């Protein structure tokens, strides 16, 4: 893409909450990006949900609020089809002035985990199921979107309804076209069980590209929705009495010869699959904050609401946190079902894949897979039940310390504690305004 063809374009990196932080720059910057022409305070990637500095953060006054250097990622520039005026976005990642990756950049956190796989001669292949909800946000409370065909608000659940998809055909046609323009591998779309809720699957590819595309896709979905007269949100629970939004992640690992290391030629999978599952389960409770990063996230993590609440695994069982799907042995993979739609894709994949690798490194053995309804099983480790508990749990957990750097964990904890304090000052019925398009 020729960036000089645009009068201006955007550069942006991902902050701890998954929001884009960056600048609008002249087209003349196109040839300067690799040289580090775009600078930005390091602290900007570690601000709170509203973009405010973190009180007492060492990245702010203690360090003079020093700048970092933004450089383009290998993802490359993409068009911005949600804008009326043609433009481009260049995904960036943050470095220090000494050229070292900035610890507070979530993309670097994933890169470090994937480098450990690469050191073994392995590549992680991943895919995501992206759930979101279309919303009318013109009232004091979020409402169901207007059906473009009937002109009336959507009024009931329509799981796997083709008619519901057809009602929003113009939007999804535009979404597919935009994904093609941006190089995002959109696969199937379904109408989900919630009011105005849909799911788009993004196809399997290299794990870093998967995280990049999930990040870009969320911005695309929200921006394009506005062009069609409604809002789109990835909130974990837009309506308390309705279905929540998740982001299930499927992943496998291939060796240098392209062989899936989880494939034993049969339905059970290899010992390495078992090790990886065990690692995911061991780190899961302490990883809750990564998979449920907001107060609203915990409205989704309740028993019987199609979201996991305990660290258990199973074959072909969607009530379990870790599901091993059936199908051809060559496609044997792990489906991690815990994360909400409101997550940071880089931190989420880093936590999942880092945990799986710990399981392999330590040769952990998983408990027996469950059968039946996971919500009825007692005596198994559970995810954190509240935002406060999740923040406390991640702060000093030894497994998390093997996945994420201590400075990143410390800044994440400070950020979330500041958000908890601020949300406590906002009436509960107004919380959704802060979350709607920010997560």
pLDDT in 10s for each residue of the chain, 439 residues: 899 999 999 999 999 999 999 999 999 999 999 999 999 999 999 999 999 999 989 988 777 889 999 999 999 999 999 999 999 999 999 999 999 999 999 999 999 999 999 999 999 999 999 999 999 999 999 999 999 999 999 988 888 889 999 999 999 999 999 999 999 999 999 999 899 999 999 999 999 999 999 999 999 999 999 999 999 999 999 999 899 999 999 999 999 999 999 999 999 999 999 999 999 999 999 999 999 999 999 999 998 888 999 999 999 999 999 999 999 999 999 999 999 999 999 999 999 999 999 999 999 999 999 999 999 999 999 999 999 999 999 999 999 999 999 999 999 999 999 999 999 999 999 999 999 999 9
CA distances from 345 to 193, 247, 272, 341, 352 (A): 23, 9, 24, 9, 11
Crossing angle for the helix pair 207-227 and 106-119, nearest 10 degrees?
150
Please say whether the beta carbons of 342 and 253 come within 8 A. Answer: no
Q: Which of 429, 379, 415 is nearest to 50 (CA)?
A: 415
| Whole-number Å distance between alpha carbons of 80 and 291 | 28
pLDDT at residue 44, rounded to an integer:
96
| Whole-number Å distance between alpha carbons of 374 and 385 | 16
Strand intervals (E) in 18-170: 20-26, 38-41, 67-72, 78-79, 88-95, 123-135
| Whole-number Å distance between alpha carbons of 351 and 397 | 13
φ/ψ of 145, rounded to 5, equals -70, 155
- Return the bridge partners of 72, or none: 92
pLDDT at residue 244, rounded to an integer:
95
Q: Which of 292, 124, 331, 274 is nearest to 211 (CA)?
A: 124
Helix (H) or strand (E) holding 253: strand 247-254
pLDDT at residue 94, rounded to an integer:
98
Domains in the chain: ranges and CATH = 3-102 (3.10.20.70), 113-435 (3.30.590.10)
Q: Which of 165, 167, 189, 166 is nearest to 176 (CA)?
A: 189
- For 217-259, give the DSSP string: HHHHHHHHHHHTTSEEE--S-SSTTSPPPBEEEEEEEE-TTS-
- Return the bridge partners of 136, or none: 143
| Whole-number Å distance between alpha carbons of 233 and 16 | 18
Say what the alpha-carbon torsion angle 180, 132, 253, 90 is, to the nearest 10 degrees: 50
| Whole-number Å distance between alpha carbons of 214 and 217 | 5
Crossing angle for the helix pair 106-119 and 345-361, nearest 10 degrees?
30
| Whole-number Å distance between alpha carbons of 351 and 280 | 9
- Residues 6 or more apart whose Cβ sits within 8 Å of residue 356: 251, 276, 277, 279, 280, 334
| Whole-number Å distance between alpha carbons of 364 and 274 | 8
Range list of H helices, 64-124: 106-119
378-396 burial, b at 16+ Cβ within 10 Å, e below that, comes to eeeebbbeebeebbebbbe
Q: Which two tokens stand for residue 248?
A: 């299930």
How many C-beta atoms surround the C-beta of residue 82 within 10 A?
17
Please say whether the beta carbons of 311 and 399 come within 8 A. Answer: no
Tokens 């915990």 belong to 298
Rg (CA), the chain: 21
Crossing angle for the helix pair 207-227 and 345-361, nearest 10 degrees?
160
138 exposure class (CB count in 10 Å sphere: 0-12, 13-18, 19+): exposed
Tokens 């992640």 belong to 249
Q: Which two tokens stand for residue 130?
A: 């992206």
Q: For 383, left (φ over 0), alpha (ψ -120 to 50), or beta?
A: beta
pLDDT at residue 158, rounded to an integer:
83
């Amino acid at each position: 893409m020729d960036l000089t063809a645009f009068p201006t374009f955007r550069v942006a990196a991902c902050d701890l909450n998954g929001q884009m932080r960056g600048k609008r720059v002249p087209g003349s910057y196109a040839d300067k990006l690799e040289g580090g022409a775009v600078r930005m305070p390091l602290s900007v990637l570690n601000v709170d949900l509203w973009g405010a500095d973190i009180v007492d953060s060492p990245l702010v006054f203690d360090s003079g609020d020093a700048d970092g250097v933004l450089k383009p990622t290998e993802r490359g520039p993409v068009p911005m089809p949600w804008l009326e005026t043609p433009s481009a976005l260049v995904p960036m990642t943050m470095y220090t002035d000494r050229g070292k990756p900035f610890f507070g950049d979530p993309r670097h956190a994933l890169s470090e985990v994937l480098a450990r796989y690469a050191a073994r001669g392995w590549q992680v292949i991943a895919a995501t199921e992206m759930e979101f909800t279309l919303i009318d946000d013109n009232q004091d409370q979020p409402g169901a979107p207007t059906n473009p065909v009937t002109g009336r608000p959507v009024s009931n659940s329509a799981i796997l309804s083709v008619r519901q998809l057809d009602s929003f055909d113009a939007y999804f046609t535009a979404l597919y076209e935009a994904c093609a323009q941006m190089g995002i591998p959109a696969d199937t779309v379904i109408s989900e069980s919630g009011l105005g809720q849909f799911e788009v699957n993004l196809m399997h590819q290299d794990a870093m590209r998967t995280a990049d595309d999930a990040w870009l896709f969320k911005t695309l979905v929200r921006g394009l929705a506005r062009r069609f007269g409604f809002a789109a949100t990835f909130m974990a629970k837009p309506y308390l009495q309705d279905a929540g939004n998740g982001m299930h992640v499927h992943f496998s690992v291939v060796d240098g010869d392209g062989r899936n290391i989880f494939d034993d030629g049969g339905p059970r999978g290899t010992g390495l699959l078992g090790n990886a599952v065990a690692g995911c389960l061991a780190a899961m409770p302490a990883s809750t904050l990564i998979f449920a990063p907001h107060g609203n996230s915990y409205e989704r993590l309740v028993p019987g609401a199609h979201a996991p609440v305990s660290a258990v695994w199973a074959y072909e069982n969607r009530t379990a946190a870790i599901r091993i799907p059936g199908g051809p042995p060559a496609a044997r993979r792990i489906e991690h079902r815990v994360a909400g739609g409101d997550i940071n894709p880089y931190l989420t994949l880093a936590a999942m894949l880092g945990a799986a690798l710990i399981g392999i490194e330590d040769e952990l053995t998983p408990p027996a897979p469950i059968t039946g309804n996971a919500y009825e099983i007692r005596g198994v480790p559970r995810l954190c039940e509240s935002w406060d508990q999740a923040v406390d749990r991640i702060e000093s957990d030894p497994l998390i310390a093997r996945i994420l750097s201590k400075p990143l964990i410390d800044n994440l904890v400070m950020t979330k504690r500041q958000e908890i304090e601020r949300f406590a000052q906002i009436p509960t019925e107004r919380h959704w305004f802060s979350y709607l398009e920010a997560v």
